[in-house]
């Protein structure tokens, strides 16, 4: 027979279950961050006009962390605010959001001196070439992230 606490629950197993769920959620978040970091690194390697600001490992780590923060906090808000437009375009507007977030990531990297360059931008003036690089990068990044999401399931 199990002794119940004052709230009617088995204190030990309930507490462990909550901790286990919290641990699992944290590990999934870390795995998604690692997967997105790998996808970003592969994207920068594959797309000709994308490059790292410098080749230091710290740059890749800092950029990956910023990318994770953008995907965790900013992207869901933008997706919610753009819901009517995304419905009218059958979800294709999400691609425009991804382009904008990749440009935002490059801009933040330029502000802190570590990040990715889109055809030389943000150290050089913004051009059509940088926009095309962001579009191709967003497409490759979306495909890679989708493939990696099949490996890391919720």
pLDDT tens digits, residue range 123-141? Answer: 899 999 999 999 999 999 9
Domain boundaries, the chain: 47-151
Count of C-beta atoms within a 10 Å radius of residue 103: 21
Q: Looking at residue 71, what DSSP letter applies?
A: I
- How far apart CA 109 and CA 39 sit, in angstroms, is 17
Residue 84 burial (C-beta neighbours within 10 Å; 0-12, 13-18, 19+): exposed
Q: Which of 104, 31, 33 has its CA nearest to residue 72?
A: 33
* Residue the block writes with tokens 């965790």: 72
Q: How far apart are CA 98 and CA 139, in angstroms?
A: 8
Give the integer Cα–Cα distance in Å for 67 and 24: 22
> For residue 23, what pLDDT is reported?
84
pLDDT tier at 14 (50, 70, 90 boundaries)?
low
* Contact of 103 with 134, CB cutoff 8 Å: yes
pTM (2 decimals)? 0.82
| C-alpha to C-alpha distance for 119 and 48, rounded to whole angstroms | 8
Q: What is the pLDDT of residues 53-97, one digit of tens each?
A: 887 888 888 898 899 889 889 999 999 999 999 999 999 999 999
* Residue 22, pLDDT score: 84
């Amino acid at each position: 027979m199990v002794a119940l606490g004052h709230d009617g629950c088995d204190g030990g197993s309930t507490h462990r279950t909550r901790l286990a769920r919290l641990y699992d959620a944290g590990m999934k978040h870390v795995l998604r961050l690692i997967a997105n970091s790998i996808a970003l690194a592969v994207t920068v390697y594959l797309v000709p006009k994308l490059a790292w600001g410098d080749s230091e490992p710290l740059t890749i780590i800092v950029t990956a962390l910023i990318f994770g923060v953008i995907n965790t906090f900013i992207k869901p808000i933008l997706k919610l605010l753009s819901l009517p437009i995304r419905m009218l375009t059958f979800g294709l507007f999400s691609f425009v959001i991804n382009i904008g977030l990749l440009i935002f990531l490059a801009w933040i990297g330029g502000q802190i001196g570590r990040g990715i360059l889109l055809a030389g931008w943000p150290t050089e003036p913004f051009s059509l070439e940088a926009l095309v690089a962001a579009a191709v990068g967003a497409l490759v990044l979306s495909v890679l992230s989708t493939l990696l999401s099949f490996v890391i399931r919720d």
